[in-house]
Structure 1
């Protein structure tokens, strides 16, 4: 059977439609805001000044980088550098103050990549940053200790849309304030086990073939958002996310998962959104999904897979766990067979309301909410 990789969509159930829609839109807006950039400490944009000297370095000595002061915040934008040699020269200048809030080395996706290919151990000299944004570069090598001097006060770190194969994830273990790590759109081959009480956002998507252990994230107790779509993931281990007691958002979409094994999606956190769309899921074992319904709402995206039925021993406890909550399960573009085995669900209005409109039955040719349940009851229960 062939299937298209359709763009995600969420059709709302007839019960609680507006509440679900409002919550999901608010949640999506939060994620979009987070995806666009980190929120730094409060500052007044009208107070931002391009400084030619103190408290910044001499403007000519750090050219083409620019130093910007916004109140008490110092930022350094090096997006115009052309290579790492030029960047290294910048940091050999005299810096009156060496602790900066932000380093930016970013090109727009429509622009040529910034031609920095490596970051050596001493590239930043003694200058440190609390927030680092590097994106759309030719960066392929990062020295394992390049961020170590920043670690004591490092809060956010993004090195994205580049060509990194080995990333120094060890910085997570020594950065007690790090809350946000984004390394998406690279060629990273491995994520080691990390330990952090502060990290709450991890984005490793679009690293095809990236490898990590079955419990690589369990020592991140305050992780709330894990984005791991488009990484060629083939399986999820039992209890993979059980120790992430604060996990709210899990994106494993556009991967190659075929089977959800027992306890693979077992949560004790206030999980709110699980995205499994556009995988190859055809088998869901009993007990594979549990612990839903503890968040403000529950969204389970299973669209564009190969789920053929709602086997009662597998799915009844999952549906029951969210009854009475703001919830929606999406099963569009699955080869559902709405026969006698599905009567337990079709006869329960709460369970039907959980499924968003758009899930079609391949045997009856109808949308699941429009199946002739009276006929099935008459025929199947004889």
Structure 2
């Protein structure tokens, strides 16, 4: 027994000795670690993730800096749930089933820098839920079911730098929801149900530098959408299929360096809304149904270095499209419908470093010869342009051709006008005249017509250019007289012709009060009124028989309708007067020269007449 007692005492003394040694080495007692958690005293970290916890564990060391409670079954955060963890710097509550956060749930976490609440079931954030977090820099509430941001939801988070609120069911953001976030730099509102830009709420974020609005239900960016965001540098609006246009002043007040407008429904480059963004360096308009880039409309973007338009419907980049972009170094036009990209589109190709033209039906002719000449210093990002036509070079990469092969390749045939015969037309006013301009060349030349006043003629109007290049002058007037010029041009050269039109007016001495005969399907009418335009003679009656019959019928029906309305009015008026008497009694005195005064009362009865009213 004594031996056993001595052994037991020895073991106790060993345990005490080891405990004393532990204290002496670390200077403090060892950490208590909650059950089912992993603790790292060296990193001041407690990891309780993926343990199916339904409540926050007790006995978490007050000196913990990093607490991970992700991927559990937490439903509610109670009032001052973490008040004992004043040293906590990072708290991860993501991937739980949180639906309720009580007011001041995080009160006491004065040193908390990062709070993650993503992938929960939060529908509303009560005002005051985030009070007591003066040092917080990052708040992640993404992938929840939040419907609305109420006024002053985040007002006590004065140090917040980044707010991640993507993938919620946001329908509305109150005007003062972001009040107090004076130091917020990044805000993400991706995948929301917002149908308009919350301009009033965003105007509270005067320090914001990066904003993302992706996968929203936006239909238009109205004027002054981002007012008071003078420090905003990066704006991303993406995956908004209902967004078809930008208002003229939608981006006014911004000094952006990066703008992304992708996966929207923009049918053209928003030239006017962009023109004041003189500090813009990065522009991405990819995955929009943009057909062409017009010349000389991007020149105000003086500092633009990267331009992306990938996966669109781009058919043509006009010559001069990038004039003024003296610093452009990256151009990405891959996966479009481009057949060529001419060197004349650029201000200078000398600054270009990266060029992407892959996945386009390129025609390798003289228009793309510049790409071969610069291919040694151009970076194609491992996806070089490939020829689609002509057939004998189909499928070959432009950079693979040699100097010896070039004379028979990358060739063009100069534009040439085929009908060189003089076209001189003399006609009277009112006639329609056509001038022809048939062209030949490879690539197909473009055709323009200039008026006698050297103005460009369009495809609409009384004087117009038809789709086949023919000039049509309809209802010619004296002022249309003069020489018209047709210009045909392609990458190999130009050609031009001039045609003459002389239009005769009617003599000024013709009688102004002459009769004008109108003819209508065999009927002849004569008018003695002088015509408005004295330069014309006989004119056909402006209406045919069918039109006249319809007009008369409509007039007759209008007359009958008016009569019917009058009768109805009289009927109701008469009913309003009450019962109508159908008889009337009239007393009268016979007027005779020899008659004496009436005798008795019998004379009065004989001088009364009763009438029946019909």
| TM-score, length of structure 2 as denominator length | 0.45
Matched, 1:181 2:211: yes
Aligned partners of 1:267 and 1:290 also within 8 Å: no
Counterparts of 1:197-216 in structure 2 under 5 Å?
197-210=230-243, 211-216=245-250
Cα distance change, pair 117–56 in 1 and its aligned pair in 2 (3 A): farther
Matched, 1:231 2:270: no
Counterparts of 1:110-121 in structure 2 under 5 Å?
114-121=144-151
Matched, 1:136 2:162: no
Other-structure match for 1:354: 378
Matches of 2:360 and 2:298 in 1, distance apart? 20
Tell me which of 277, 282, 299 is aligned to 1:244. Answer: 277
The runs of 5 or more residues in structure 1 that have no matched partner are: 1-43, 108-113
Shift of 1:127: 5.2
Matches of 2:172 and 2:362 in 1, distance apart? 47
Matches of 2:44 and 2:281 in 1, distance apart? 32
Aligned partners of 1:117 and 1:141 also within 8 Å: yes
Shift of 1:380: 5.7
What SS class does the counterpart of residue 259 from structure 2 fall into? strand
Other-structure match for 1:279: 312
Matches of 1:190 and 1:68 in 2, distance apart? 41
Matches of 2:287 and 2:106 in 1, distance apart? 40
Matches of 1:65 and 1:358 in 2, distance apart? 60
Matches of 2:119 and 2:364 in 1, distance apart? 59
What SS class does the counterpart of residue 374 from structure 1 fall into? helix
The runs of 5 or more residues in structure 2 that have no matched partner are: 1-42, 46-63, 68-80, 94-99, 415-491, 493-614
Counterparts of 1:1-382 in structure 2 under 5 Å?
48-50=65-67, 52-53=82-83, 62=101, 67=106, 72-79=111-118, 82-85=121-124, 87-88=125-126, 91-92=127-128, 95-96=131-132, 100-107=136-143, 114-124=144-154, 129-150=160-181, 152-192=182-222, 193=224, 194-195=226-227, 196-210=229-243, 211-221=245-255, 223-238=256-271, 240-294=273-327, 298-311=329-342, 315-316=343-344, 318=346, 321-323=348-350, 325=351, 327-343=353-369, 345=370, 349-350=373-374, 353-354=377-378, 356=380, 357-363=384-390, 364-365=393-394, 366-371=396-401, 372-376=405-409
Aligned partners of 1:235 and 1:258 also within 8 Å: yes
Matches of 1:379 and 1:153 in 2, distance apart? 60
| TM-score, length of structure 1 as denominator length | 0.69
Cα distance change, pair 377–176 in 1 and its aligned pair in 2 (3 A): closer
Shift of 1:53: 1.4
Aligned partners of 1:69 and 1:75 also within 8 Å: no
Shift of 1:255: 1.0
Q: What is the Cα-based RMSD across aligned positions, in Å?
A: 3.9
Matched length: 318
String of CA shifts for 1:92-149, please: whole Å, max 9, x gaps. 4693455743322023xxxxxx222222335457555443111222223222332233
Matches of 1:353 and 1:120 in 2, distance apart? 55
Where relative contact order (Cα < 8 A, 6+ residues apart) is larger, the structure is 1
Cα distance change, pair 66–206 in 1 and its aligned pair in 2 (3 A): farther
Matches of 1:279 and 1:271 in 2, distance apart? 20
Shift of 1:337: 1.5
Instruction: Choose 1 or 2 for highest CA Rg.
Output: 2
